[in-house]
Amino acid sequence: MRNLITGGAGFLGSHLVDRLMQAGEEVICLDNYFTGRKANVSNWIGHSNFELIRHDVTEPIKLEVDRIWHLACPASPIHYQFNPIKTAKTSFLGTYNMLGLARRVGARFLLASTSEIYGDPEIHPQPESYRGCVNTIGIRSCYDEGKRIAETLCFDYQRMHDTEIRVMRIFNTYGPRMLPDDGRVVSNFIVQALRGESITVYGDGSQTRSFCYVDDLIEGMIRLMNSNETGPINIGNPGEFTIRQLAELVRDRINPDLKIITKSLPKDDPLQRQPLINLAKQHLHWEPKIALSQGLDITIEYFREQLRHTSAND
């Protein structure tokens, strides 16, 4: 198989690169390095099965591939709100361009969608049949609505052009290669604790999230691509934790003496987020294997090494 991974140098993309390369497949990694890092895939540079291209998916590109894994889009609030118009363009034009490529070369296409399409949900936990509660004009809309139109494009290409699509809705994922400054709750807490700072919780900490370790997520992604299922299918860990519980787990692993402080909750921040994964269990025979405690230990060691390396170079 010849695979194109957009956003391939990013957090999720680079882990997918590893899995496909280890399986002996050919991989073209496409990234504009807005949030991706060449270092994430540097161990494959020079390998005969690997090609790295610097490219922005909002511009068309011509390639011959069998499968397209469309992961390109900033996924953390800090990054996607930095340039919301660019984020919306990436979701719409990027998906449009990659679907056009899939149609021309007959490639199977997987969209990395998101649990954010459910917005601030009125149904809990969230099944794939739930249509969401999204603010169309809020500060998160560039990403939430961007992914919704990306899903729309996928199904319109399927209906009009028989394009073979797979749509996965990714819930909160964490693990090595997250950026230390990406504003996501797991990396925020770990980096603050390792630096000896107070851990900042937004709101009263009662809002909930479900955290899936990256290896589990990539396994679900590969199973969906290899299946006959179109989706959308939720891929995430159904274990539900409050943000305060997460802060306490991180603090107790790094420095139990650290304080937990609170600040006001950002606008449109969802109060609950938990996937129903019945479809993934039934059709993909997939469910997460790595507990939050185990995944946190691995992620903490990754960030500890990153911060140690940064300090040594200062």
Q: What is the pLDDT of residues 229-270, one digit of tens each?
A: 999 999 999 999 999 999 999 999 999 999 999 998 877 777
pLDDT at 181: 85
CA angle 37, 274, 90 (to 5 degrees): 35
Which of 80, 96, 118, 143 is an active site residue? 143
- pLDDT (average), residues 130-142: 92
- 305-311-312-314 Cα dihedral, nearest 10 degrees: 150
Q: What is the pLDDT of residues 69-89, one digit of tens each?
A: 999 998 888 888 889 999 999
pLDDT at 314: 59
Segment holding 242, helix H or strand E: strand 240-242
Question: Could you give the domains of the chain?
Answer: 2-309 (3.40.50.720)
Q: What is the pLDDT of residues 90-104, one digit of tens each?
A: 999 999 999 999 999
pLDDT at 96: 98
Q: Nearest 5°: phi and psi at 94?
A: -60, -45
pLDDT at 75: 86
pLDDT tier at 163 (50, 70, 90 boundaries)? very high
pLDDT at 76: 80
Q: Which residue has the tokens 């957090």?
A: 11
Q: In the chain, where does DSSP find H-type helix? A: 11-22, 77-82, 84-89, 95-105, 141-161, 185-194, 214-226, 243-254, 278-279, 292-313
Segment holding 108, helix H or strand E: strand 108-114
**Cβ density class 68-96: b for 16+ within 10 Å, e for less:** bbbbbbbbbbebbbeeeebbbbbbbebbb
Q: What is the pLDDT of residues 260-301, one digit of tens each?
A: 999 988 777 778 889 999 999 999 999 999 999 999 999 999
CB 272 within 8 A of CB 124: yes
The answer to whether residue 143 is catalytic is yes
pLDDT at 310: 75
CB 142 within 8 A of CB 83: no
- Asked whether the bond before 77 is cis by omega within 30 degrees of 0, the reply is no
Name every residue whose Cβ is closer than 8 Å to that of residue 57 and which is 6 or more positions away in sequence: 6, 30, 32, 70, 72, 90, 93, 94, 97, 98
Q: Which residue has the tokens 């749509």?
A: 167
Q: What is the pLDDT of residues 3-39, one digit of tens each?
A: 999 999 999 999 999 999 999 999 999 999 999 999 9
Q: How many CA within 13 A on the CB side of residue 101? A: 26
pLDDT at 267: 76
pLDDT at 136: 93
**Helix-then-strand count for the chain, H and E:** 10, 13
